[in-house]
Amino acid sequence: MITKRNHPRRRQLADPAGTVSGTGAGALVGGEATRVAPAGPAAPVATGVPPGSRSAGELRDIQAAFNAARLGMAVVGRDGRVVSANHTLGAMLGTDPALLSDESAADLVDLGDDSRIWNAYLAVLRGRDEPLRCARCLKGPDGRPLWTEVTVAPLPESGRVLLSVADVSERRDLQARLRHLQMHDPVTRLPNRALFFERLTAALTPDPYDRGGTGRIGLCYLDLDGFKAINDTLGHRVGDELLRAVAQRLVQCADELGHGRRGGHLVARLGGDEFAVLVEDSTGTEQLAALAGSVLAALQRPFDLAGQRLSVSASIGVVERVAAGTTATGLVQAADTTLYWAKADGKARWTLFDPERNAHRMTRQALSSMLRPAVERGEFTLDYQPLVGLGDGALRGVEALVRWRHPQFGTLAPNRFIGVAEEDGSIVELGRWVLENACRQARRWQLDHPAAPPLFVSVNVAVRQVWDSDLVADVAGILKETGLPPELLQLELTESAVMGSAGRPLQALQALSDMGVAIAIDDFGTGYSNLAYLSRLPVSVLKLDGSFVRGFRDVEHPNPADETIVEALVQLAHRLGLTVTAECVESAEQAERLRNVGCDTGQGWLYSRPVPPEHIAALLNSVAGSAPGPTPGAAPGPGPSSDPGPGPGPHPGPGPSAGHGPGVDQRHGAPGSTSGPAPTPAPEG
């Protein structure tokens, strides 16, 4: 039996004339008043056809069709009450159709809970021709939800309306199953990327009625380390089993720590071996850190799959921030960037998003997009730092050091952009420009100062220049164009680049040496230090890294180990026919001790900082072939204690070869006191 709900606003419905009408228990059937029986067959259908226009047989056929229809139907009067209903509608509602007469149609199919549906329903009752269609969830006879599609349409010529109710539960269940398949990963059964972004977007959408949340959101974005190797060696079947096992442990970790509001945490597989754990209403970075630590510990336990024990680890990027103002794309991008940091930092760890580190990354990207046009616009210049003989103090050569005179950010030292240039390949174009201009300047000094001993120019070369360009042809062409003799050109490569040379790089170095160009190993002692290579590579100069030279600073408490190592390296180099240059020479005491152990040349603040080419020209004018003394062409550096530039030692970089290329100075004064700051975009979060 359907319990009638009393809605005050539905007790009286005004007809178009403004009067209240009602049928009570009676209904018009074929133009005659008929009393509805309290029980029994369905009430005769009200056709709304004028009396005498249909025969008794036609009326019986209409009544039979009405009762036999598989669609639940009811004729509703202008007052919103049921005039007659068929058997299907009674079965849907679990009652005799005759008992539905005089019931509120809106109550039967729940049209009053939504104000928009209610207003549209009233409009149809008042004569609007456009029918109402909506989906409603009713309570079926068995107590389970009954999803229906309700239509309320006017009946022509009668002023009444026809209520039809279609059972769409099966269709809705099918749609739900299809959506589940569409929104879940078939391997792990976890939500997929589409559902993840749907939930994330919803979590970031402000809810004016929700005052109990923290207003924050967190995300752990993780990637399995070495999963591709497992797939390639053991097959995709084992790989899929591993993914399923990983998914189970992730869900267990999230459930045990109770993350998410109302149990709404989300563990999703985003594709491949990438997973995400979304934490809504997070309480701070400590909560996300605890989750990331739990996940790492869970995944480091061995997996027993297909008769094999597998060990894997994961790298996790962690982001936690205020939800307001955060976009789904921005949050995932920040998490992905942080995941990359975790990979770069050594894998098997979690890393928290750092706005400053991200600003540095964005700066590198900005500089990368500006590098190639900057070469064409002539924004780069070269400074030169003297290389002085330790025995006689004579100026032997100069090292070319590139600077970027950025129109917006000021002067940028090479350690700001050389690593970026090596990554995006613009180092080849920039390196060719440095080589050409350095050779042209050295030739100009030679022509302008014939009385002075000719200076050699030393140019840094990145290993990518050897691989990605025809370095031998470039050098030969530049020497021919500028007229610089090959013996006045020295090319510097890092130890890690030279020691790993084989194939094309080794052939290129040999061809350059045969041409007469000197090859120097820069920062010797910081890389492989494979002494066996020295006898096989066409190397003529070793440049000792400043970390060795710094051990010669303290005169009162010298480091015997540093002095012993340097002396042994110098003796070995001399036995092999190589000369030795000491970098980062800051004091006369250092120079004296380096001279005593046999170093040939020195470079550093004691002699000069990197200076423009006209300073070198002025020096050549003043000496006119004589030894320049300790301060060639520039005021001697005051030393690191009073210098505004960087301290001694190599600039930080991602690896031995990073930051080494055309004009990368790793001696004192490399950035120089005029170096401007790199652009710093606003940090995220």
Average pLDDT over residues 483-487: 97
- Contact between 572 and 353 under an 8 Å Cβ cutoff? The reply is no
The predicted pLDDT at position 497 comes to 67
Q: How far is residue 277's CA from residue 300's CA, in Å, rounded to a whole number? A: 18
- What would the DSSP string read from start to end of 260-297? SGGG--EEEEEETTEEEEEEET---HHHHHHHHHHHHH
- Contact between 338 and 349 under an 8 Å Cβ cutoff? The reply is no
CB atoms within 10 A of CB 8: 6
CB atoms within 10 A of CB 246: 24
Residue 499 or residue 292, greater confidence = 292
Query: Is a pLDDT exceeding 50 seen at residue 674?
Result: no
The rounded Cα 448 to chain-centroid distance in angstroms is 54
Least confident of 94-98, 253-257, 278-282: 253-257
- Across the chain, mean pLDDT equals 81
Query: Is a pLDDT exceeding 90 seen at residue 657?
Result: no
Query: Is a pLDDT exceeding 60 seen at residue 22?
Result: no
The predicted pLDDT at position 108 comes to 94
Strand partners, 149: 135, 166
Query: Is a pLDDT exceeding 50 seen at residue 40?
Result: no
Terminal C-alpha separation, the chain:
58
The predicted pLDDT at position 604 comes to 93
pLDDT in tens, 601-613: 999 999 999 999 9
Q: How far is residue 465's CA from residue 509's CA, in Å, rounded to a whole number? A: 12
Average pLDDT over residues 590-606: 93
What stretches of 15-126 adopt beta strand conformation (E)? 26-29, 32-35, 72-76, 82-85
Over its C-alpha atoms, the chain yields an Rg (Å, rounded) of 42
Query: Is a pLDDT exceeding 60 seen at residue 636?
Result: no
Average pLDDT over residues 414-442: 93
Query: Is a pLDDT exceeding 80 seen at residue 247?
Result: yes
Query: Is a pLDDT exceeding 60 seen at residue 682?
Result: no
- pTM, 2 dp: 0.60
Query: Is a pLDDT exceeding 70 seen at residue 633?
Result: no
The predicted pLDDT at position 667 comes to 45
The predicted pLDDT at position 152 comes to 96
DSSP conformational letter for 127: T
The predicted pLDDT at position 632 comes to 34
Q: How far is CA 158 from CA 16, 28, 29, 154, in A?
A: 13, 10, 12, 8
pLDDT in tens, 97-141: 999 999 999 999 999 988 999 999 999 999 888 899 999 999 988
Confidence of residue 507 (pLDDT cuts 50, 70, 90): confident
CB atoms within 10 A of CB 222: 26
Q: How far is residue 108's CA from residue 287's CA, in Å, rounded to a whole number? A: 49
Least confident of 43-47, 175-179, 313-317: 43-47
Query: Is a pLDDT exceeding 90 seen at residue 360?
Result: no
Q: Considering only CA atoms, which of 582, 588, 589, 585 is closest in space to residue 557? A: 589
Cβ neighbors of 454 (< 8 A, separation 6 or more) are 445, 446, 485, 488
Q: Considering only CA atoms, which of 186, 206, 151 is closest in space to residue 269? A: 186
The predicted pLDDT at position 211 comes to 63
The predicted pLDDT at position 106 comes to 94
The predicted pLDDT at position 655 comes to 34
- What would the DSSP string read from start to end of 166-182? EE-HHHHHHHHHHHHHH
The predicted pLDDT at position 150 comes to 96
Q: Considering only CA atoms, which of 538, 496, 536, 539 is closest in space to residue 659? A: 496
- Contact between 651 and 659 under an 8 Å Cβ cutoff? The reply is yes
The predicted pLDDT at position 120 comes to 93
The predicted pLDDT at position 467 comes to 80
Cβ neighbors of 343 (< 8 A, separation 6 or more) are 223, 225, 315
β-bridge pairing 456-460 and 489-494? parallel
pLDDT in tens, 522-555: 888 766 656 667 777 889 999 988 888 877 766 6
Confidence of residue 500 (pLDDT cuts 50, 70, 90): low
Query: Is a pLDDT exceeding 90 seen at residue 42?
Result: no
The predicted pLDDT at position 227 comes to 94
Query: Is a pLDDT exceeding 50 seen at residue 192?
Result: yes
Q: How far is residue 325's CA from residue 206's CA, in Å, rounded to a whole number? A: 10
pLDDT in tens, 466-477: 887 789 999 999
Least confident of 1-5, 271-275, 460-464, 606-610: 1-5
